[in-house]
Chain A
Amino acid sequence: MSDVIVVGAGVVGAACAYYAARAGLDVTVVDRGPVAGGTTGSGEGNVLVSDKEPGPELELAMLSNGLWRALAEHGGFEFEPKGGLVVAETDEIQRRLTELAGKQGVEHAMVSGAELRDYEPHLAEGLAGGVYYPQDAQVQPMLAAASLLRHGAESFGRGTLRLRLGVTVTGVLRSGGRVTGVRTSQGDVLGDAVVNAAGTWGGEIAALAGVELPILPRRGFILVTEPLREPLIRHKVYTAAYVTNVASDSAGLETSAVVEGTPAGTVLIGASRERVGFDRTTSVPVLARLAEQAVALFPALREVRAIRSYCGFRPYCPDHLPVIGADPRVPGLYHACGHEGAGIGLAPATGHLLAQLLAGERPDLDLRPFRPDRFSEEAA
């Protein structure tokens, strides 16, 4: 019998388990696959503050940014505080970026068109300018998730964090309305609380508990280049269109250039967003569009080869905010899912706040904007 059962060993589940164990709770993590085999295994690992509109998500991102830095001190995964550069193609876009940066209240520096190449020597000519955000960073998400689970298991007393892999949750057990555990492909697992950290499949877990959570897959492709001997790109660099695409409600294909180097020497190129269900079929037009945009931003990439690509399914909620907190409809059920394209960045704050709730403490941030029943209210 555990205090907490976390469903999902992605980066969000790992962070929930880590902070819950740190809070002295006894945790069991259950995943149908390996550690980080879900969307965490197909994310890029950006920990961004630059792309958020002022509001609850930005607050969550700021909290998370600090927590990632502290977690990275344990080692076990790469954390690169490399900074992000948002570039503007036109003066009008630069003006809007300036305005956004002013409202965010995040550490930043305005970059003129002439200064852009001091930041990124290989950027195309003729760009109007940009904004540099020194707090943007990158982690290797799979290793980060695995390390959090490892640290959690090793640091806070033996046996307080257990990992059960290859175990599928097939039902949520209840007694007198209250959650008492989960039914799995390998027997029942009992616990006082169940945390739904099933990412894009969070709606399915909620449904097992008899509640609705409107989480949908939003597909994204990433192109990966050959490893480069000399780093061509120093920061995470993206065009302003990225910010509007992230916030868009369109189901159709949207792409914007997001380019960055990795410690392995490869360059990762994103980002596409489209709602097409869980279809993994590679779309060559999407890959081509990503390549086109990346080359427009960094002409030197023209001769660089793409050697692979992958896709993943961001867990998307209609209002683009994650679901974090206790579900008032089912006592004992908590949610930590629906982080869309920012779950890696937002994982530590999510885990930290949820652990505070589980331990009966007052969370550091107001969780009302993330409450699980907000969608049914809107419908009513």
Chain B
Amino acid sequence: MTFHITVDGRPVPVVPGQSIGAALHAAGVRSWRTTRFGGRPRGLFCGIGVCFDCLISVNGRPPERACLLEAEPGDEVTTA
């Protein structure tokens, strides 16, 4: 009973209730942004909304925490 979101145009399966971060991890995508100064790759670190490493832009909105944000059918995610 999965649905899909797209990550940079590529479909990624989601189990209902999963966060965007969990869905990305499950698909083997473990980093999705780079830092401002060093260009270092970042993904999940704390997993519970504390560290803000996992910021991601969904449907063109300003960046949000991927570990908190539940994936919705049709979400379009862009990585930097």
Contacts and interface: CB of A to CB of B under 8 A. Distances in A.
Q: Say whether A and B bind each other.
A: yes
B62 A304 contact: yes
Interface string B39-60: 0000000000000000000000
7 contacts: A227-B36, A229-B36, A265-B36, A303-B61, A303-B62, A304-B62, A305-B62
Contacts of B62: 303-305
Nearest to A307: B52
Interface residues of A, number: 6
Interface of B: 36, 61-62
The list of the 7 closest CB pairs from A to B, nearest first, reads: A303-B62, A227-B36, A265-B36, A229-B36, A304-B62, A305-B62, A303-B61
A304 B62 CA distance: 8
A227 B62 CA distance: 12
Interface of A: 227, 229, 265, 303-305
B45 to A, nearest CB: 17
Contacts of A227: 36
A63 B36 CA distance: 36
Nearest to B64: A305
A60 B40 CA distance: 45
Contacts of B61: 303
A265 B37 CA distance: 10
Contacts of A305: 62
Nearest to A264: B36
A231 to B, nearest CB: 12
Contacts of A303: 61-62
Nearest to A303: B62
Nearest to A227: B36
Nearest to A304: B62
A305 B65 CA distance: 13
Contacts of B36: 227, 229, 265
B39 to A, nearest CB: 12
Contacts of A304: 62
B9 to A, nearest CB: 21
A303 to B, nearest CB: 5
A25 B72 CA distance: 69
B40 to A, nearest CB: 15
A119 to B, nearest CB: 25
Contacts of A229: 36
B18 to A, nearest CB: 24
Nearest to A229: B36
A304 B61 CA distance: 10
A282 B9 CA distance: 44
Nearest to B55: A226
A288 to B, nearest CB: 20
A229 B61 CA distance: 14
B59 to A, nearest CB: 13
A284 B49 CA distance: 23
A372 B62 CA distance: 52
A309 to B, nearest CB: 17
A291 to B, nearest CB: 15
B67 to A, nearest CB: 17
B53 to A, nearest CB: 14
A304 to B, nearest CB: 7
A308 to B, nearest CB: 12
A140 to B, nearest CB: 16
Nearest to B63: A226
A265 B36 CA distance: 9
